[in-house]
Amino acid sequence: MSRSSNRRFSPLGGTRKVQNDIDLFFDRVGDATTLFVQLLKQYLEEPNSPDRIRQTLEQIVDIETNADELRRGIESYLYEKTLIPDLRSDVLALIEEIDSLLSPQIAVSYALHIERPVIPGEFHRGFIALIESTALCVDHLLRGARAFFRDTESVRDHAHKVVFVESQADKMCTDLKTQIFSSDLDKVEKIHLRYFLERIDLLANRAEDIADALTIYAIKRMF
C-alpha cells in the first residue's frame, strides 16, 4: 500500500452520517474534559460555592448522557453494516475505550462536590498544572482518534504526544504528593488529597493506555 493511499484510508467507507456522529462523540468527550478542568478551578477559587460547582457538574453529566446516546447509535451502525470483522472490532473498542474516559471525570467531580477536600493555596498551582496536563493527554488522544478515520499515518505522532504528556503528569503527581506529605497537614487531610491526585492522574494513565491501543489499530490498517 502506498503512502498516499494510507493517508486516504477511511475505515467506514466514507459513510457521512456515522462519521459525523463519531466526530460529535469526540467533541462531547472533549467538552466534558474542558468542563472537568473548569470545575476543579472553580472549586479552588470558591470551595464554599457548591451551587456553582454543581451547575458545572450537571453540564458534565448532560454531556455524558449525550455521548452515550451517540455511542449507542455508532455501535448499532457498526453491528448492522458488513464491515470487516476485525476492523469493526477495532472501531468498537476505540469508541468504548474513549467513552470510558467520562466516568472517572464524573466520579472525581461528584467527590469534590460532596466531600469538599481542604486544598491549601500552596498546592493550587500544582493541582491546576496536573489537571491541565491530564486534559492535554485527552486532547492529544482525541486528535489521534480523529486521525484514525482520516490520516492513519499521523496517529503515531498524536499517540506519542499522549505518552509524553502523561509522563509529565506522572511526575507532577509524584512531586505534589511529596509536597503534601511533607507539609503540616493532618494525616487524614493528606490521604484525602492523595485520593484526588491519584484519580486525576489515573485519567492521564487511561488516555495513555488507549493511545497505545490506537497505535496498534492504526498499524493494522496500514498493511
Domain ranges for the chain, please list them.
14-222
pLDDT at site 191: 97
Statement: residue 9 has pLDDT above 60 = no
The residues, ordered by sequence, that sit 6+ positions from 189 with a Cβ below 8 Å of its Cβ are 117, 118
pLDDT at site 5: 44
Higher pLDDT, 150 or 136: 136
Burial state string for 8-34 with b = 16 or more CB within 10 A and e = fewer than 16: ebebbeeeeebbebbeebbbbbbbbbe
Q: What CATH superfamily classification does 14-222 receive?
A: Phosphate transport system protein phou homolog 2; domain 2 (1.20.58.220)
**Please, what's the largest Cα pairwise distance for the chain?**
62
pLDDT in tens, 16-56: 788 899 999 999 999 999 999 999 999 999 888 889 999 99
**Average pLDDT of the chain to the nearest whole number:** 91
Per DSSP, the three-state class of 185 is coil
Whole-prediction pTM: 0.91
DSSP class of residue 122? G
Burial state string for 126-157 with b = 16 or more CB within 10 A and e = fewer than 16: bbebbbbbbbbbbbbbbbbbbbbbebbebbbe
Q: What is the mean pLDDT of residues 206-214?
A: 98
* CA pair distance 53, 110, nearest whole angstrom: 9
Statement: residue 194 has pLDDT above 50 = yes
pLDDT at site 82: 56
* Residue carrying the nine cell digits 476505540: 94
Residue 14: pLDDT band (50, 70, 90) is low
pLDDT at site 11: 59
